[in-house]
Amino acid sequence: MHELSIVQGVVELCEQHCGGRRVLAVTLEIGSLSGAVPEALEFCFEAATKGTLLEGAELEIERVEATGYCSDCGVVSPVETYFDSCPSCGAPALLLRTGEEMRVKDLEVE
Amino acid sequence: MCTTCGCPEEGHDHHHDHDGHLPGTRITIETDILAKNNRYAAGNRALFKANGIFALNLVSSPGSGKTTILERTLCDLSGNLRCAVIEGDQQTDNDARRIAATGVPVKQINTGAGCHLDAHMVGHALEELPTREMDILFIENVGNLVCPASFDLGEAHKVVVLSVTEGEDKPLKYPQMFHAADVMLLNKIDLLPYLDFDVEKCLEMARRVSPGIRIFQLSAKSGQGMAEWYEWLRGKG
């Protein structure tokens, strides 16, 4: 359940940036291979924000789909797992371009 | 300049409607959620570099034999290399006591409900270890093949331990951890005659998830394969 630590990180970052104002909404960017499960983040969010400036804030999660670069044929393709091979040329490994993000994109304050 | 959006115009209004809730001011952050952990990890890494410490983060499911590997490694390397250990468990200092019996400095971290070590905890544990007289630091993470993958502790390598009593498809079932690791210890190989574990299949899966992963097949119980692991440690990776 490392989602709780992640949400605590979100709370900390937002409190640093909100200038003491109440936070109404937070947008996260979560990569499909980041290891963080959106449903689990949502589940932790309410508990972790209680008594903070984020209490009652809306949580929006933008999923970032994973893509990988093939160093053999140079094609960038969508990736579903860490072990996808290149759909274009069949090379066994792709270098991840996106999909591992865990970022606070923005927030909305009063 | 407007500090909210960076435009040259002062004092204009950023309020807008957002799906029916109260209008507010939007602030762009675009910051990694684990930025704080990563800063502590960078601090640990700088300390390791300044003191010439080779730090390894041992990760695995519970019961793969991390502590037994460490006990044997510490006994066999003592005299050659100055080692220290940070033990991470939710509860008890059982593992720290096992390590202390080898005579090596050890610091136990109990994470309570926490499922992983983070770089901040490791930084505090380091304050209580003789970092000026240390060649190798082994950080034994909480037994968990999921959460520790996301938290950099400042280590040189994540070393994933997989025992042959587990399924050979663990690398595909827990790909984030095996992808994050660049060294793998396949432990308990003395039990292979009694199991249906397909070593080649397991290694192939590990390489699919983490191309270039360095693999040592060993048994901390029988000592088989330990020499290659020691050779790698002596060469400090």
Structural domain spans, chain B: 35-234
| Number of structural domains found in chain A | 1
A108 touches chain B (CB under 8 A): yes
Would you call B33 and A10 a contact, using CB atoms and an 8 Å cutoff? yes
A33 touches chain B (CB under 8 A): yes
Direct distance between the N- and C-terminal alpha carbons of chain B, in angstroms, rounded to an integer: 51
Q: Is residue A38 part of a domain?
A: yes
**pLDDT of A15 above 90:** yes
* Rounded Cα–Cα distance for residues A74 and B22 (Å): 46
* Rounded Cα–Cα distance for residues B107 and B5 (Å): 47
Residue in chain B lying closest to A96 (CA):
B179
Residue in chain B lying closest to A56 (CA):
B21
- Give the closest residue to B92 by CA, choosing from B65, B116, B111, B74: B111
To the nearest whole Å, the CA of B236 is away from the closest chain A CA by: 27
Listing from the earlier edge strand, what are the strands of the sheet with B136-140?
B106-110, B83-89, B136-140, B54-60, B157-163, B183-187, B214-217
* Rounded Cα–Cα distance for residues A104 and A14 (Å): 8
- Find the angle CA(A44)-CA(B113)-CA(A51) to the nearest 5 degrees: 40
Residues 56..95 of A with a Cβ closer than 8 Å to B: which?
58, 81-83, 92-93
CATH superfamily of B35-234: P-loop containing nucleotide triphosphate hydrolases (3.40.50.300)
The two tokens of residue B189 are 């190989």
Would you call B29 and A106 a contact, using CB atoms and an 8 Å cutoff? yes
Q: Is residue A93 part of a domain?
A: no
Q: pTM here?
A: 0.88
> Which residues in chain A touch residue B31, judged by CB atoms under 8 angstroms apart?
13, 103-104
Residue in chain B lying closest to A4 (CA):
B114
What is the pLDDT, as a whole number, of residue B16? 44
* CATH code where residue A41 lies: 3.30.2320.50
Mean pLDDT score, A13-36: 96
**At A55, is the secondary structure helix, strand, or coil?**
coil
Q: Is residue A75 part of a domain?
A: no
pLDDT tens over chain B, length 237 residues = 444 444 444 445 544 444 444 578 999 999 999 999 999 999 999 999 999 999 999 999 999 999 999 999 999 998 889 999 999 999 999 999 999 999 999 999 999 988 999 999 999 999 999 999 999 999 999 999 999 999 999 999 999 999 999 999 999 999 999 999 999 999 999 999 999 999 999 999 999 999 999 999 999 999 999 999 999 999 987
* Rounded Cα–Cα distance for residues A66 and A78 (Å): 6
| Nearest CB to A106; choose among B26, B34, B147 | B26
What is the pLDDT, as a whole number, of residue B17? 44
Strand partners, B27: A107
* Rounded Cα–Cα distance for residues B48 and B118 (Å): 16
Q: Is residue A36 part of a domain?
A: yes
DSSP A19: T
What is the pLDDT, as a whole number, of residue B164? 98
User: What are the backbone dihedrals phi and psi of residue A108, each rounded to the nearest 5 degrees, phi first?
Assistant: -120, 125
* Rounded Cα–Cα distance for residues B173 and B208 (Å): 12
Residue in chain A lying closest to B5 (CA):
A106
| Domain range enclosing A16 | 3-65+99-109
- Give, to the nearest 10 degrees, the angle between helix B35-51 and helix A3-17: 100
Q: Is residue A8 part of a domain?
A: yes
Q: Is residue A14 part of a domain?
A: yes
The band of A17, judged by pLDDT with boundaries at 50, 70 and 90, is very high
Would you call A109 and B24 a contact, using CB atoms and an 8 Å cutoff? yes
For residue B71, give Cα distances in angstroms to B27, B145, B220: 51, 21, 9
The band of A2, judged by pLDDT with boundaries at 50, 70 and 90, is confident
> Which residues in chain B touch residue A14, judged by CB atoms under 8 angstroms apart?
29
Q: Dump pLDDT digits (tens) for A73-96.
A: 999 999 999 999 999 999 988 999
What is the pLDDT, as a whole number, of residue B218? 98
Q: Is residue A94 part of a domain?
A: no
User: Which of B3, B27, B210 to probe the A interface (max A CBs under 10 A)?
Assistant: B27
Q: Is residue A85 part of a domain?
A: no
**pLDDT of A103 above 50:** yes
Q: Any residues with CB less than 8 A from the CB of A55 and at least 6 apart, and which?
A: A49
Residue in chain B lying closest to A82 (CA):
B209
Does ipTM surpass 0.85 in this model?
yes
